[in-house]
Amino acid sequence: MLFPDYRPRRMRQNEALRRMIRETALSVDDLILPLFTIGGRNVKNPIPSMPGQYQLSIDNLIKVARKAHELKIPAIMLFGIPEAKDPLGTRAYAKDGIVQKAVQSVKEKLPELVVITDVCLCQYTDHGHCGIVQGDIIDNDATLDLLARTALSHARAGADMVAPSDMMDGRVAEIREALDENDFSQVPIMSYAAKYCSSYYGPFRSAADSAPKFGDRRTYQMDPANALEAIREVTMDIEEGADIIMVKPALAYLDIIYRVREEIDLPMAAYNVSGEYAMIKAAEKMGWIDGSRVMMETLTAIKRAGADMILTYFAIEAAQALSVSNFKK
């Protein structure tokens, strides 16, 4: 098909024609809103590096969750900031932990909203690592029981889904077994299967107060240079019982999303992480870009690469934009 017989601009002349041949359709159904919850009442601490995002006490969390629900966003992901930390991250799996209380409150007020919980120890340990520390080593196998206890405590609180983000080997199987043995076989696992050791996490670590106090996370999170390893990680998590797998970050790893999509037929999520969000917000503030257009282009690219669902701090803004767009149609 060569010019002049083929003229692709014919189908770009107006919005109606473009809509008719559009290959990728972003929907509010694709969005998951991450939220940070903290103790107290009427707390709404701005996160400086993530404009428009906050650490929220449960009463304010409910307000944002309700807004998301009204916009038809199907799910939220909860991250907790505890009142105290210790070497074993005990507040991560405490019955009265901040996430556990938040889950109970959201499900009581908004039972139809899907509540997903992040399962990790980094926000809860005084050293900031995602597992138990022995000397200067992160002890993989000793951490597994604590991760399973955390996931189980979330399920008992009413979580609809648990999402282990720690990148310890074998944690999906350990969590699946704990859930099944305690009559929570209906609770699915969204595994952070291919989670890279990325510099794009900086704003999140500030928001969740989860930066490691020594070293970094390269011994358990993936090397950004590796692609084939992502397939192995994803395959292992599927074999261990994951129901949804995730690639994180999203924007700098679109090739990984695409490769994984070609290899597996399980639902796949991608995390449009804090650094990706912050860069768009910063450039928008400087007047260098149209923030709304770049937001939608970014989310569409993630969907086009193969993601079935997108965790994004833009969820509410994107849902509002999609609502306006659908109204115009």
Q: How would you classify the pairing of strands 132-134 and 137-139?
A: antiparallel
Structure letter (DSSP) for residue 308: S
Q: What are the helix (H) ranges across the chain?
A: 15-20, 58-70, 98-109, 140-157, 171-181, 202-208, 228-240, 254-263, 274-285, 291-305, 315-328
Do strands 161-164 and 190-195 pair parallel, antiparallel, or not at all (unpaired)?
Answer: unpaired
CATH superfamily, region 25-328: Aldolase class I (3.20.20.70)
Q: How confident is the model at residue 213 (pLDDT cuts 50, 70, 90)?
A: confident
**What's this model's pTM, rounded to 2 decimal places?**
0.95
Alpha-carbon distance of 192 to 164, in angstroms, equals: 6
The DSSP 8-state label assigned to residue 160 in this structure reads: S
- Residues 138-166 have a mean pLDDT of 96
Domain ranges of the chain: 25-328
List beta partners, residue 77: 34, 116
pLDDT score recorded for residue 328: 47
- The pLDDT, as a whole number, for residue 198 is 95
- Span 32-59, average pLDDT: 97
Give the chain's radius of gyration (CA, Å).
20
Q: Which of 227, 221, 89 is nearest to 165 (CA)?
A: 221
**How far are the Cα atoms of 51, 91, 106 from residue 59, in angstroms, in the given order?**
21, 20, 9
Task: Provide mean pLDDT across the span 185-210.
Answer: 92
Instruction: Please name every residue paired with 272 in a beta bridge, in sequence order, or none if there are none.
Output: 312
For residue 1, what are its two tokens?
Answer: 């098909």
Going by the DSSP 8-state scheme, the letter that residue 223 receives in this structure is P
pLDDT for 327 equals 45
Residue of 216 and 289 predicted with greater confidence: 289
Instruction: Write down the pLDDT at residue 1.
Output: 81
Average per-residue pLDDT in the chain?
A: 95
- Please say if 67 is a catalytic residue: no
**Poorest-pLDDT segment among 14-28, 128-142, 254-268, 292-306:** 128-142
Q: What are the φ/ψ torsions at residue 110 (nearest 5 degrees)?
A: -135, 70
Please determine, for residue 129, whether its predicted confidence score (pLDDT) is greater than 70. Answer: yes
Distance CA 159, CA 187 (A): 8
Active site residue 195: yes
Q: Does the pLDDT at position 44 exceed 90?
A: yes
Backbone angles phi, psi at 195, to 5 degrees: -105, 115
Q: How far apart are the C-alpha atoms of 208 and 45, rounded to whole Å? A: 12
Annotated catalytic residue, options 248, 281, 285, 328? 248
Q: Which residue has the tokens 């696992």?
A: 189
Q: Please compute the mean of the pLDDT values over residues 285-299 and round it to a whole number.
A: 98
Helices (H) and strands (E) in the chain — how many of each? 11, 12
pLDDT of the residue at 329: 43
Least confident of 61-75, 129-143, 268-282: 129-143
Distance (Å) of CA 65 to CA 81, 119, 171, 214: 17, 20, 29, 35
Give residue 212's pLDDT: 80
**pLDDT grade, residue 326 (50/70/90)?**
low
Q: Which is catalytic among the residues 44, 109, 195, 213? A: 195
**Chain segment 4-36, per-residue pLDDT in tens:** 989 999 999 999 999 999 999 999 999 999 999
Question: Once rounded to an integer, what is the mean pLDDT over residues 230-244?
Answer: 98
Structure tokens at 17: 């024609």
pLDDT at 271: 98
